[in-house]
């Protein structure tokens, strides 16, 4: 049996059938290009007869992507097949995917046809599609609830009619791994008595699996089928799809890669795909953003927490040797940045690791001080913090005496109802240049307050996407307000991250009974840290490194 597994991506067809998902033409094309770059083997671009929009979507994808086969879905009738062909005929490699249900429940209640009639329709559809293209896939919808001998009869007949791929869908997500294994094995073996088995062995006919996730078994079932001889997996990015979704592409591909040893031991060889695994996360994020179907944080491979270690023991382990708690390298699937997430469970090792990765070398005593400050700040206030906050704690420890700005008074109004706008008046003492005042209006009271701070100190906030040019321009990259405690008397906490023209990010934190005052404090804190770093940051970094080396902690 061939060692190659074909990845048939149906994000644009079965995935797009998810409730609430509707992609524009441009969005479909963007996803198709991402799938081509990911190097899936086949993109199922849609079901052309289902709507003019679907037809156009399939046609545009077929005419654009080159290095991937494009499939169009068609029921087992001539009209569907004609329309499907019309949509994909200009593809560099076009595949017609025709299907009809084979389970008695579908035959009796949906199709109202006999088994014989369905068998004939399947064969006729394959023969008809074959006139258009050599690449014809047949799917026996609801295969896993079909009678096995009848299903084998259909499979044999469509292969004889010319199908090059035979798909055995678990349409309602009903099967379990062992049963699915047995079914695929039974179907593959049943070809022996018709002298067709060699076609599967040589890879001229491919058994395909298409699993839905109603019992959460779609990936497990698909992998089990591969052990039994299937060589195509139909799947979607992020497991998107009807109801509970389809098998998740990223989980299939990474299991084959990470557990190649298991497949080798079990079937005598590894199973390879051609997927560029470092494109997985960017593709996942693109699909999530365009479909609005966001991925749960603990989703395997592509969830935000999939490689995040927050507990002290795990962080220590991963810093010492990644393999202690990670079975794959996050970069291998396209994650960038660090997997160590600072939070209230983080230990000293993680804090040191984070600071060192930003160039700060600390003696154990210095680290202890920073760690205690960090613990106090992170404890109830910020549940998980970005690295910038940790560096801010370090700047507070060593450079607070250099902080320039202090708010001496502020008044901010709140407005309920148009047409008035909130006003902020602020007075700030700059140790270097004296007292500055400003009055501004804003969209809300926090907006008014931030604008007043910026105007008083001669800073300017650029738009979220705009370029930041010059020392006085800043971008607000993160802003969030929270409360600690319960009820209206809870403490307001505000956290901000600003970015300067050199791309340097600085965080600030503010706490106050008044939520707007907490916001002003956070911004002033960030500006103080930024200016102190600009004035003395490098000098401090070198001083700390020198004292570190002097203590003989690191040599060379
Ligand atoms: O789930 C299913 O059976 C399908 C077929 C059309 C392949 O999506
Ligand atoms: Zn499906």
Name the packing angle between helices 348-357 and 312-320 (round to 10°). Answer: 50
Whole-number pLDDT of residue 98: 98
State phi, psi for 398 to the nearest 5 degrees: -105, -25
Which ligand 1 atom is at minimum distance from the Cα of 17? 8
pLDDT one-digit tens code per residue, 162-213: 999 999 999 999 999 999 999 999 999 999 999 999 999 999 999 999 999 9
Name the packing angle between helices 148-161 and 177-190 (round to 10°). Answer: 50
**Angle value at C-alpha 211, between 210 and 214, nearest 5 degrees:** 155
Domain 6-291 has CATH 3.20.20.70: yes
pLDDT at 378 exceeding the cut of 80: no
Mean pLDDT of the 510-533 span: 96
Quick one: pLDDT band at residue 556, thresholds 50, 70, 90?
very low
Percent of the chain with pLDDT over 70: 98
Residues with CB under 6 A from ligand 1: 14, 99, 139, 141, 167, 169, 171, 210, 212
**Angle value at C-alpha 218, between 213 and 222, nearest 5 degrees:** 160
Residues of 68-77 as b/e, b for ≥16 C-beta within 10 angstroms? bbbbbbbbbe
Residues of 150-173 as b/e, b for ≥16 C-beta within 10 angstroms? bbbbbbbbbbebbbbbbbbbbbbb
Euclidean distance between CA atoms 93 and 416, whole angstroms: 61
From the list 16, 78, 96, 93, the residue with the least C-alpha distance to 51 is 16
Note the ligand closest to the C-alpha atom of 44: 1
Euclidean distance between CA atoms 148 and 185, whole angstroms: 11
Mean pLDDT of the 331-341 span: 84
Whole-number pLDDT of residue 256: 98
pLDDT at 555 exceeding the cut of 60: no
What Å distances lie between residue 69 and 2, 56, 391, 459, 460, CA to CA?
19, 17, 49, 53, 51
Q: Say if residues 233 and 8 touch (Cβ distance below 8 Å).
A: yes
Q: What's the CA-to-centroid distance between 126 and ligand 2, angstroms?
A: 19
Q: What's the CA-to-centroid distance between 147 and ligand 1, angstroms?
A: 17
pLDDT one-digit tens code per residue, 209-224: 999 999 999 999 999 9
Nearest protein CA to atom 7 of ligand 1, as residue? 139
From the list 414, 394, 388, 412, the residue with the least C-alpha distance to 507 is 388
Ligand 1 pocket, mutate which of 46, 138, 212, 240 (most atoms under 8 A from CB): 212
Q: What rounded mean pLDDT belongs to the chain?
A: 93
pLDDT one-digit tens code per residue, 280-334: 999 999 999 899 898 988 999 999 889 988 788 888 888 888 899 889 999 999 9
Quick one: pLDDT band at residue 489, thresholds 50, 70, 90?
confident
Residues β-bridged to residue 71: 44, 95
Which ligand 1 atom is at minimum distance from the Cα of 14? 8
Whole-structure pTM value: 0.78
Euclidean distance between CA atoms 246 and 11, whole angstroms: 9
pLDDT at 446 exceeding the cut of 50: yes
The stretches of 426-467 forming alpha helices (DSSP H) are 445-456
Mean pLDDT of the 455-474 span: 92
Q: What's the CA-to-centroid distance between 241 and ligand 2, angstroms?
A: 7
Nearest protein CA to atom 1 of ligand 1, as residue? 171
Ligand 1 pocket, mutate which of 18, 139, 239 (most atoms under 8 A from CB): 139
pLDDT at 379 exceeding the cut of 70: no
Which ligand 1 atom is at minimum distance from the Cα of 143? 3
Q: Say if residues 414 and 422 touch (Cβ distance below 8 Å).
A: yes
Which helix (H) or strand (E) segment holds residue 117: the answer is helix 115-132
Mean pLDDT of the 432-457 span: 96
Ligand 1 pocket, mutate which of 137, 167, 208, 213 (most atoms under 8 A from CB): 167
Euclidean distance between CA atoms 15 and 24, whole angstroms: 14
Mean pLDDT of the 36-64 span: 98
Q: Which residues crowd ion ligand 2, with CB under 5 Å?
A: 14
Q: What's the CA-to-centroid distance between 14 and ligand 2, angstroms?
A: 6
Q: Tell me whether the CATH fold assigned to 6-291 matches the one assigned to 399-544.
A: no
Helix (H, G, I), strand (E, B) or coil at 106: helix
Q: What's the CA-to-centroid distance between 91 and ligand 1, angstroms?
A: 22
Euclidean distance between CA atoms 484 and 379, whole angstroms: 11
Residue 284, exposed/middle/buried by CB under 10 A (0-12, 13-18, 19+)?
buried
A 10 A CB-CB count for 365 gives 8
Q: Say if residues 184 and 140 touch (Cβ distance below 8 Å).
A: no
Q: Could you state, in order of their start, the residue ranges of all structural domains in the chain?
A: 6-291, 308-382, 399-544
DSSP letter, residue 477: E
Whole-number pLDDT of residue 5: 98
CATH superfamily of 399-544: Alpha-isopropylmalate synthase LeuA, regulatory domain (3.30.160.270)
Q: What's the CA-to-centroid distance between 173 and ligand 1, angstroms?
A: 11
CA pseudo-torsion sign 301, 250, 236, 288: positive
Which ligand 1 atom is at minimum distance from the Cα of 172? 1
pLDDT at 228 exceeding the cut of 50: yes
Euclidean distance between CA atoms 205 and 162, whole angstroms: 9
Q: What's the CA-to-centroid distance between 105 and ligand 1, angstroms?
A: 15
Q: HEC string of 40-102?
A: CCEEEEECHHHCHHHHHHHHHHHHHCCCCEEEEEEECCHHHHHHHHHHHCCCCCEEEEEEEEC
DSSP letter, residue 522: H
Whole-number pLDDT of residue 322: 85
For residue 535, give both structure tokens: 């004035």
Q: What's the CA-to-centroid distance between 118 and ligand 1, angstroms?
A: 16
Note the ligand closest to the C-alpha atom of 144: 1
């Amino acid at each position: 049996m061939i060692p190659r597994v074909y990845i048939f991506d149906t994000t644009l067809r079965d995935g797009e059938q998810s409730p609430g998902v509707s992609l524009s033409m441009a969005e479909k094309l963007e996803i198709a290009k991402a799938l081509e770059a990911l190097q899936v083997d086949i993109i199922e671009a849609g079901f052309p007869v289902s709507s003019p929009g679907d037809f156009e979507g399939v046609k545009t994808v077929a005419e654009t992507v080159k290095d991937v086969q494009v499939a169009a879905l068609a029921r087992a009738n001539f009209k569907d097949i004609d329309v499907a062909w019309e949509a994909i005929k200009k593809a560099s490699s076009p595949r017609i995917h025709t299907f009809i249900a084979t389970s008695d429940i579908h035959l009796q209640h949906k199709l109202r046809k006999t088994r014989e009639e369905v068998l004939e329709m399947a064969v006729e559809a394959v023969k008809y599609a074959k006139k258009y293209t050599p690449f014809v896939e047949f799917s026996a919808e609801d295969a896993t609830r079909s009678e096995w001998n009848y299903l084998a009869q259909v499979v044999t007949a469509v292969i004889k009619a010319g199908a090059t791929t035979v798909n055995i869908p678990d349409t309602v997500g009903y099967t379990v791994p062992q049963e699915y294994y047995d079914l695929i094995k039974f179907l593959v073996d049943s070809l022996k008595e018709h002298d067709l088995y060699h076609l599967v062995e040589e890879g001229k006919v491919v058994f395909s699996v298409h699993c839905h996730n109603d019992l959460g078994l779609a990936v497990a079932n698909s992998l089990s089928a591969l052990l039994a001889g299937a060589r195509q997996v139909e799947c979607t990015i992020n497991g998107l799809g009807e109801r509970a979704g389809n098998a998740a592409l990223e989980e299939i591909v990474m299991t084959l890669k990470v557990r190649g040893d298991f497949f080798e031991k079990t079937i005598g060889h590894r199973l390879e795909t051609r997927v560029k695994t470092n494109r997985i996360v960017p593709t996942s994020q693109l699909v999530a953003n365009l479909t609005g179907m966001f991925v749960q944080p603990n989703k395997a491979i592509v969830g935000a927490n999939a490689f995040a270690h927050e507990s002290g023991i795990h962080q220590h382990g991963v810093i010492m040797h990644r393999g202690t708690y990670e079975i794959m390298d996050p970069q291998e699937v396209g994650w960038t940045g660090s997997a160590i997430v600072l939070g209230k469970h983080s230990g000293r090792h993680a804090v040191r690791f984070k600071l060192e990765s930003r160039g700060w070398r600390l003696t154990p005593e210095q680290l202890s001080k920073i760690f205690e400050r960090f613990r106090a700040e992170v404890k109830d206030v910020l549940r998980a913090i970005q690295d910038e906050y940790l560096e801010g704690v370090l700047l507070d420890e060593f450079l607070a005496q250099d902080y320039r700005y202090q708010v001496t008074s502020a008044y901010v109004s709140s407005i309920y109802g148009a047409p008035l706008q909130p006003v902020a008046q602020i007075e700030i003492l700059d140790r270097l240049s004296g007292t500055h005042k400003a009055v501004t209006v804003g969209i809300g009271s926090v907006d008014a307050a931030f604008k007043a701070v910026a105007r008083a100190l001669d800073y300017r906030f650029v738009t979220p996407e705009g370029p930041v040019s010059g020392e006085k321009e800043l971008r607000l990259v993160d802003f969030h307000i929270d409360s600690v405690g319960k009820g209206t008397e809870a403490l307001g906490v505000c956290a901000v991250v600003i970015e300067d023209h050199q791309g340097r990010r600085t965080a600030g934190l503010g706490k106050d009974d008044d939520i707007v005052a907490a916001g002003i404090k956070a911004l002033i804190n960030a500006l103080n840290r930024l200016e102190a770093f600009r004035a003395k940051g490098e000098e401090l970094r070198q001083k700390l490194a020198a004292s570190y080396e002097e203590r003989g902690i690191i040599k060379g």
